[in-house]
């Protein structure tokens, strides 16, 4: 007799489960890992609810500057809005929140601090960005990546530190700190990206704006951290 593990999207609200495995490609597993969902993770499902499904990185404003963070990272930042604590990803354009939690670990807090986001920071959710492909030149190599990925590298341009995605076409900068974990550092290294190297933005290819559609999100709690997981990803998480 075979016992089939349920997937996360099938779990009823208020149930606590343990992640037994995740499947899907490298991108799906990487996104789940950014949310803290790996084998052995214990989580409690809060609700399964219909919401707008959006793609692409997130544009934000802090008191100091504008910045972009990858969509998965937006789900790691909890903010307080009108007395309610919720993932940053759930804010709408123009809404403000106060940062209450950043990923639940000191390492993740360090990543966000590198971008100027700290506990107690007031941030404004500007908008979901369209999918944009950026082509860079490093040495004799041409490297292509999305804006969310590019936002994880800081570069120095004209004496100022900015995220790589804010370069303009034809501009040159010197690569600095990579805001991410070991896997991201290794991935960038394999691409030929390293601190101190010169990098030039060759061109940006902006895709048509993403039209939100209705889908289902699973809202879950991992320790003190709330996350929302899209229907596609929650169908790749097997639990017990």
Distance CA 158, CA 204 (A): 21
**Residue 216, token pair as written in the block:** 């289902």
Q: Which residue has the higher pLDDT, 15 or 48?
A: 15
* Domain spans, the chain: 8-52+219-239, 55-129, 132-206
Instruction: State the pLDDT at residue 6.
Output: 84
What Å distances lie between residue 57 and 39, 143, 146, 180, 195, CA to CA? 26, 19, 9, 15, 23
Q: Is it the case that residue 28 has pLDDT exceeding 60?
A: yes
Distance CA 186, CA 129 (A): 26
Distance CA 28, CA 200 (A): 29
Residues 6+ away with beta carbon under 8 Å from 96:
81, 122, 123, 124, 125
Q: Which residue has the higher pLDDT, 165 or 53?
A: 165
Q: Which fold has domain 8-52+219-239?
A: SH3 type barrels. (2.30.30)
Q: Look at phi and psi of residue 90 and say left if phi exceeds 0, alpha if psi is from -120 to 50, else beta.
A: alpha
What Å distances lie between residue 79 and 82, 89, 200, 205, 218, CA to CA? 10, 10, 35, 32, 18
DSSP H stretches of helix in 19-154:
26-34, 71-74, 106-114, 147-150
pLDDT in tens, 90-100: 788 889 999 98
* Count of residues making up the chain: 240
User: First vs last Cα of the chain: how many Å apart?
Assistant: 17
Distance CA 78, CA 58 (A): 14
pLDDT in tens, 174-227: 999 998 777 788 888 888 899 999 999 999 987 665 555 555 678 788 887 777
The arrangement of strands across the sheet holding 42-53 comes to 225-230, 213-222, 42-53, 16-22, 237-239
CA dihedral of 116, 73, 219, 101, whole degrees rounded to 10 = -30
**Residue 60, token pair as written in the block:** 């934000």
pLDDT in tens, 95-143: 999 998 887 666 677 778 888 888 899 999 998 887 788 999 999 899 9
């Amino acid at each position: 007799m075979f016992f089939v593990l349920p997937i996360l999207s099938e779990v009823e609200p208020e149930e606590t489960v343990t992640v037994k495995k995740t499947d899907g490609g490298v991108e799906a597993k990487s996104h789940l890992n950014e949310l803290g969902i790996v084998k052995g993770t214990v989580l409690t499902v809060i609700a399964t609810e219909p919401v707008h499904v959006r793609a692409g990185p997130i544009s934000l404003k802090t008191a100091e500057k504008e910045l972009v963070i990858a969509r998965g990272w937006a789900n790691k930042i909890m903010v307080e809005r009108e007395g309610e604590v919720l993932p940053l990803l759930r804010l709408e354009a123009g809404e403000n929140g106060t940062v209450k939690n950043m990923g639940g670990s000191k390492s993740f807090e360090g990543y966000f601090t590198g971008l100027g986001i700290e506990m107690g920071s007031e941030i404004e959710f500007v908008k979901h960005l369209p999918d944009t492909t950026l082509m860079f030149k490093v040495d004799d190599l041409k490297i292509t990546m999305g804006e969310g990925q590019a936002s994880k590298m800081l570069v120095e341009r004209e004496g100022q530190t900015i995220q790589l995605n804010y370069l303009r076409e034809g501009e040159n900068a010197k690569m600095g700190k990579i805001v991410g974990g070991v896997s991201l550092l290794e991935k960038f290294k394999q691409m030929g990206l390293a601190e101190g190297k010169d990098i030039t933005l060759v061109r940006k290819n902006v895709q048509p704006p993403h039209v939100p559609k209705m889908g289902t999100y699973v809202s879950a709690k991992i320790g003190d951290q709330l996350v929302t997981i899209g229907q596609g990803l929650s169908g790749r998480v097997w639990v017990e």
